[in-house]
Structure formats: C-alpha cells, structure tokens
C-alpha cells in the first residue's frame, strides 16, 4: 500500500511506518490482500486550527473534531491513478484533540490514535455510522482491528 503522510505538529507523535502498518491492516482486513497492495491514501496529523478550518469548510461545523475523512469513493467504484493504484482519499487527525480524548477516556495516545486512524480509513472504504445498524457494524469492525493491532 502506498501511504502519503504529512505531519504538521512537532515532534511527530508516531513514526510514518506505524501509520502505514495500521492503515494497511485496516484495508487488508476489509478488502483483502490484493486490494491492499493497490491502495493509496494519505494521513495528515495536524493541529486543531487546520482541522477546525476543514470541518467548517466541508461540514459546516465551526469547531475542531478528532478525525475527518475525505473519501474519493464515488458510488461503488474506486478511482485509479495512472499507475493502477486505487486512490482512497485522505484522513486528517487533530493531534491535540486526540491527546485530550485519550486523557479523558483513560487511554494511551497510541490507542486513541489507532482508533481514529482505523475509523478514518473505514470511512474511505465506504463505511459510515449514520444509522444505528451502520454504527454497530462499523464500530465492531474498528474495535476488532484496533484490538488485533495491539490496543
């Protein structure tokens, strides 16, 4: 899997290899090994200000949030780039919000970040939690993946 990582907070809270392993595991669990090898996505670890701007621009909510996903999925087809990669989209995480949530929930930063990255990647793969049935399905899957990752 190809993963683009942008970290605008210093110091970088986790290595890019950790993010790639988690994102790859999530894609592989949902879509299989062959799909995972062709998948491409980006992860942005940033501050509250950038997430707040994106949340306002794309969701109409003038506040920070923990994770935003910007899937390139149109219907049931994934767009492909010229090299044959399957372009999934972008996951943007607020590092300060992740730290606050981890502390409030009595979890480690790594555990909370793993949950948010998994959640964001599942959105890129077409999962949602608008209805209770969707929420149960998505949240069960994300908990299973995070647990298998060691959190």
- How does pLDDT run across 23-33, given as a tens digit for each residue? 999 999 999 99
- How does pLDDT run across 44-78, given as a tens digit for each residue? 999 999 999 999 999 999 999 999 999 986 555 66
CA distances from 65 to 39, 137, 140 (A): 26, 22, 21
Contact between 40 and 5 (Cβ < 8 Å): no
Mean predicted confidence (pLDDT) in 14-41: 93
Strand partners, 91: 43, 69
Structural domains of the chain sorted by starting position, each given as residue range(s) with its CATH number in brackets: 2-148 (3.40.390.30)
Residue 131, pLDDT above cutoff 80: yes
């Amino acid at each position: 899997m190809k993963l683009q990582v942008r970290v605008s907070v210093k110091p970088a809270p986790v290595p890019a290899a950790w993010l790639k392993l988690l994102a790859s595991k999530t894609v592989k669990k949902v879509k299989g090994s062959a799909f995972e090898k062709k998948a491409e996505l980006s992860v942005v670890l940033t501050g509250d200000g950038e997430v707040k701007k994106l949340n306002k621009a794309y969701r109409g909510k003038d506040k920070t949030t923990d994770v935003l996903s910007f899937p390139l999925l149109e219907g049931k087809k994934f767009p492909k780039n010229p090299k044959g990669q399957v372009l999934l989209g972008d996951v943007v995480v607020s590092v300060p919000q992740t730290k606050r949530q981890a502390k409030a929930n009595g979890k480690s930063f790594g555990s909370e970040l793993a949950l948010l990255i998994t959640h964001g990647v599942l959105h890129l793969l077409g999962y949602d939690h608008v209805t209770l049935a969707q929420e149960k399905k998505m949240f069960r899957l994300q908990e299973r993946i995070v647990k298998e990752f060691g959190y």
